[in-house]
Amino acid sequence: MRRLFFFSGGMMSLGLGTAGVFLPLLPTVPFVLLAAFCFARSSPRIELWLLRHKHFGPHIHAWRESRAISRSGKRAAWIAFAVSATAGVIALPAWWNLIPLAVAIVGSWWIASLPTVAVAENERL
């Protein structure tokens, strides 16, 4: 039952991460990291495939080795936070609009506090 739970979570995370490659506001790397975490507990074969993947692998290795994010990953996260917070402030009624703003501030601070690592120059994530 536990393996099925982690496998299902890994597949959903991988699907969302893959969609994030094409959808500008959906983050890719966090979902791929979560998928690798889930597959490490459910499917070593898929985890190995992710670790050897041309685009996803370097990000997973960087996170596992030094808890670091690439410069482009940080930039993408900050842009997504800014767009989401702005949309929340504009679209939500008073007081509720502070929630996405607070999440964006805390998330941006956390991303900034993480080390930056160089990942392959041809990264597209």
pLDDT of residue 47: 96
pLDDT of residue 120: 60
SS3 of residue 119 by DSSP: coil
| pLDDT at position 112 over 70 | yes
Spell out the domain ranges in the chain: 2-66, 71-117
User: How many angstroms separate the CA atoms of 46 and 101, rounded?
Assistant: 36
SS3 of residue 63 by DSSP: helix
Mean pLDDT is highest, among 15-19, 41-45, 92-96, 119-123, for 41-45
Of 19, 15, 125, 117, nearest to 76 by C-alpha is 125
For 76, 117, 123, the CA distances from 72, given in Å and listed in that order, are 6, 10, 8
Q: How many CB atoms lie within 10 A of CB 123?
A: 17
- 11's enclosing H/E stretch is helix 2-22
| pLDDT at position 125 over 50 | no
User: By mean pLDDT, which of 22-26, 42-46, 50-54 is the weakest?
Assistant: 22-26
| pLDDT at position 57 over 70 | yes
- Percentage of the chain with pLDDT > 70? 94
